[in-house]
Homo-oligomer: A and B are copies of this chain.
Amino acid sequence: MRAWVAFLDTSNLLLQRINQQLREDGGLTQPQYELLTRLAEAPDQRMRMAELALALVTSRSGLTYQVSQLEKAGLVRREACASDDRGILAVLTADGQQALLKAAPGHLRVVRENLIDQLDRDQLVTLADTLGRARAHLRSTGNG
């Protein structure tokens, strides 16, 4: 249980720092940064809404809101899905790329200073493996 409390505290503290950093840096919030990152890593830099919502662990309505915000800011574009008329693809724009490149260094610095540099390499590898395992279990039992 000690582990869980430490886990939650660390998560909250880090998110606090990250949001603070991103706000000083430019107009992005943490959820928005995360969203853009997923799009940047996706094939053709586009993703289905439902898939994106799952990846970001947010509700579909919440995703609709954030994508709308980013679309107004010109960082993301909506596109119809060829294979499914119901589907919408969120696509990263050139401006979105730029915003991500601009915000990335500060973001990486905060994560590095506050998490990575506090641990040695073994601890870090163990942490990634351990949490990867927990995440896999959580995803595999999704709502069932």
Which A residues have a C-beta under 8 Å from some C-beta of B? Answer: 1-4, 6-14, 16-17, 34, 57-58, 108, 111, 114-116, 118-119, 123-124, 126-128, 130-135, 137-139, 141
Contact = CB atoms under 8 A, between A and B. Distances in A.
- Dominant secondary structure of chain A at its interface with chain B: helix
A139 B116 CA distance: 16
A11 B13 contact: no
A137 B124 contact: no
A127 B124 CA distance: 10
Query: How many copies altogether?
Result: 2
Nearest to A133: B118
A128 B9 CA distance: 12
B13 A131 contact: no
Contact of A115 (B4, B17, B139): B4
